């Protein structure tokens, strides 16, 4: 059971994370849609990072009390894995549906522009400041109320997202365990004491309230990947492919831009080619995204034939 101080710290952590993500995220997806999506997904991301940090603290305390922390084969128990998986499912569902909604709204806007009908250029104009933190099936219902044309919904949507999120949670276990063991070993080697300090271990591993670097990265990476994948799944609809023959690779050119992604920024690719196939396998710390290009705007555009 969480004590009063722990609950207060947890809420303060979530609040500060939400404020950080909402005010301006250095890792928001490229493009104006990406910046707006990052604001709308801020609450879900903050929730995911906070749950990840809380589960990590519980796991590290148990690990240090085990008597053989460096010999442990896993870090999280079933309850902690479940908590992380549920939080990731909420994050991934919101991001996936945000990406899908973006394509449908862009299709509506493209038709208005074709008929010289002025309107907003924000595909998320009818969304609240931040989408609520909801489990996948409820999130689908929420998004469908705002974007009735949204595709991709089936009776198995929630189960699919839940399985995916649990896979992500299990995959994170070994990485966090390695970071925690390295932090414990560092304290033991520097003579900090026979029993390593819990908060210092969490800080060094990047899963504490003070230093949530790794927890933030896990949530951020999966949110952005789900946002792009949702948009990709939606644009793969035959009707959407007819409306959008191509898409533009979006990126942010600065000193953090990866050399593997830099050459693709600003180029156009056929809609039949998935964004992930062009981007490549590296998703960690990637801010790349893509923008659908309406058939009405294809004049003069050179579409790449290799990638």
Res. 39: pLDDT tops 80: yes
Of the candidate ranges 12-21, 24-33, 268-277, the one whose mean pLDDT is the lowest: 12-21
- Which band of pLDDT confidence, cut at 50, 70 and 90, is reported for residue 115? low
Q: How far apart are CA 192 and CA 137, in angstroms?
A: 48
Res. 26: pLDDT tops 80: no
The pLDDT tens digits of the residues spanning 256-298 come to: 888 889 999 999 999 999 999 999 888 887 889 999 999 989 9
Q: What is the pLDDT of residue 8?
A: 41
Q: How far apart are CA 299 and CA 74, in angstroms?
A: 56
Res. 79: pLDDT tops 60: yes
- Mean local confidence (pLDDT), 161-185: 94
Q: What percent of the chain has pLDDT over 90?
A: 60
Could you give the maximum distance between any two Cα atoms of the chain, in Å? Answer: 73
Q: What is the pLDDT of residue 306?
A: 87
Q: How far apart are CA 35 and CA 24, in angstroms?
A: 8
Q: Could you give the 3-state DSSP secondary structure of residue 246?
A: strand
Look up residue 168 and give its two tokens: 């992500």
Rg of the Cα atoms in the chain = 21
Of the candidate ranges 64-68, 118-122, 128-132, 267-271, the one whose mean pLDDT is the lowest: 118-122
Total number of residues shown for the chain = 307
Break the chain into its structural domains and give their ranges: 4-240
Is residue 242 within 8 Å of 295, Cβ to Cβ? yes
Q: How far apart are CA 6 and CA 223, in angstroms?
A: 27
Name the helix (H) or strand (E) containing 249.
Answer: strand 246-250
Question: Exposed, middle or buried by CB within 10 Å (0-12, 13-18, 19+), for 11?
Answer: exposed
- Which band of pLDDT confidence, cut at 50, 70 and 90, is reported for residue 247? very high
Q: What is the pLDDT of residue 189?
A: 86
Indicate the pTM of the whole model: 0.86
- Which band of pLDDT confidence, cut at 50, 70 and 90, is reported for residue 1? very low
């Amino acid at each position: 059971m969480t004590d009063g101080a722990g609950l207060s710290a947890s809420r303060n952590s979530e609040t500060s994370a939400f404020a950080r993500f909402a005010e301006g995220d250095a890792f928001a997806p490229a493009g104006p849609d990406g910046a707006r999506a990052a604001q709308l997904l801020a609450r879900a991301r903050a929730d995911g990072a906070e749950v990840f940090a809380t589960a990590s603290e519980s796991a590290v305390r148990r690990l240090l009390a085990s008597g053989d922390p460096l010999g442990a084969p896993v870090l999280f128990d079933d309850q902690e894995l479940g908590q992380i998986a549920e939080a990731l499912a909420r994050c991934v569902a919101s991001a996936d549906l945000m990406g899908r909604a973006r394509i449908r709204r862009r299709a509506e806007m493209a038709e208005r522009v074709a008929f010289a009908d002025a309107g907003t250029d924000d595909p998320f104009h009818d969304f609240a400041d931040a989408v609520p933190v909801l489990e996948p099936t409820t999130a689908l219902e929420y998004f469908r109320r705002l974007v009735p044309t949204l595709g991709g919904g089936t009776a198995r949507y929630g189960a699919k997202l839940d399985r995916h999120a649990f896979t992500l949670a299990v995959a994170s276990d070994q990485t966090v365990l390695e970071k925690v063991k390295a932090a414990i070993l560092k304290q033991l080697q520097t003579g900090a004491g026979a029993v390593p300090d819990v908060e210092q271990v969490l800080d060094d591993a990047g899963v504490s309230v003070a230093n949530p670097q790794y927890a933030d990265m896990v949530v951020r990476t999966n949110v952005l990947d789900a946002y792009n994948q949702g948009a990709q799944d939606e644009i793969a609809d035959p009707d959407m492919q007819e409306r959008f023959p191509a898409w533009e690779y979006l990126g942010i050119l600065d000193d953090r831009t990866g050399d593997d992604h830099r050459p693709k920024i600003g180029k156009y690719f056929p809609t039949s080619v998935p964004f992930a196939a062009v981007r490549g396998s590296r998703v960690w710390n990637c801010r790349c995204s893509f923008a659908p290009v309406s058939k009405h705007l294809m004049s003069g555009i050179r579409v790449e034939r290799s990638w």
